[in-house]
Structure 1
């Protein structure tokens, strides 16, 4: 039986630790101390580190963890990410016997060129491409690439649990409400998220079904969102134009 623990790190990051009670995989350790503390407290031995992309808040703890445990580091090799020991690309499959889990690798550029996702059985680790009710900024590549990456994630089964890397859901839902004020699913998610956060619980994981119902970046054809943007002066209502306008609006929201 696998458990996936959310380890708060830095200001609003999550390090995800997948474990079976004995062995563990550490996903995107932005700093080492919280991960080391959790592993020691639960008597876990890490087998590998998984890295979605090269930003420091996802890689800052890798060197120390690797120094303590000397485990392989799986991710997309990049000149600015020297920690990767095993380079992963689109179509690769990563299998572990302890904890017993397998991941398919998909490349999801648009936030950064080297961004990948780890897709397991009803599990998605998507780093900074998809957030709860939002998406990452378009630092590299084009809005079309980011949109395409999100569409690939949205095509996963509705029951897929979405393990994002940041606790941004409340802020993203405020934007989602501005985009689509009459969406009852957004209102319900706001209430649910507020209850979780008031109890100091993560708002994550969500599911693909929940994201498709409440995440404006997956709802570029929704009538309410299109009308909101038209009132702001958007003339081109093609899906990619709506997505681009949403991302630009969110940058300054």
Structure 2
């Protein structure tokens, strides 16, 4: 399968996954059974371990390296086929198909692993009012993903699971990121096929930098992403005005 076809397949699978999440949220106090046996199976042959800017920031800080080093060493990027978002995914080791962070059968970045991994077997999405009612605040909702690793032994509730892995502390960050994606994606889709290739490449280089790279690890991440989002909006307006002028 060609690289482009792989990316398109990943995008389609992600779309179906998101649709399933929205249709089947779970109650925070409902029960599920799961016990991690540290088999490492959930870290193999995964093309859907996607990082948001906060994941990149935390991994960089945890490894004491810069954000661009995390991206260069451990991830690869592509443009979403329908979302047109710059997407960052964790690399798999070519021979074994294992996540690059897997050491033996344990996560090498356990204390600052990506949100999607910390949540597993839960998944999350932001539920928002689709009628545009700004008085309705966005809310993080959760699903229980299908899983075939671990054993069905210990009883958990989503509420306790989130607390145990400190994911309840990250909801505001996740909402901020999803708010940006919610506004940015449709605007990117409108300009993507209209810009000359060189201009498009330059635009996406800057966009990628503002979303994932331009962070001071000594400062709080959310405030920096909000500031970067301001620069991205300025870039977008410039491009949108240019396209409007040329028709």
TM-score, scaled relative to structure 2: 0.28
Higher helix share: 2
Q: Which structure has the higher relative contact order (CA within 8 Å, separation 6+)?
A: 2
Higher strand share: 1
TM-score, scaled relative to structure 1: 0.28
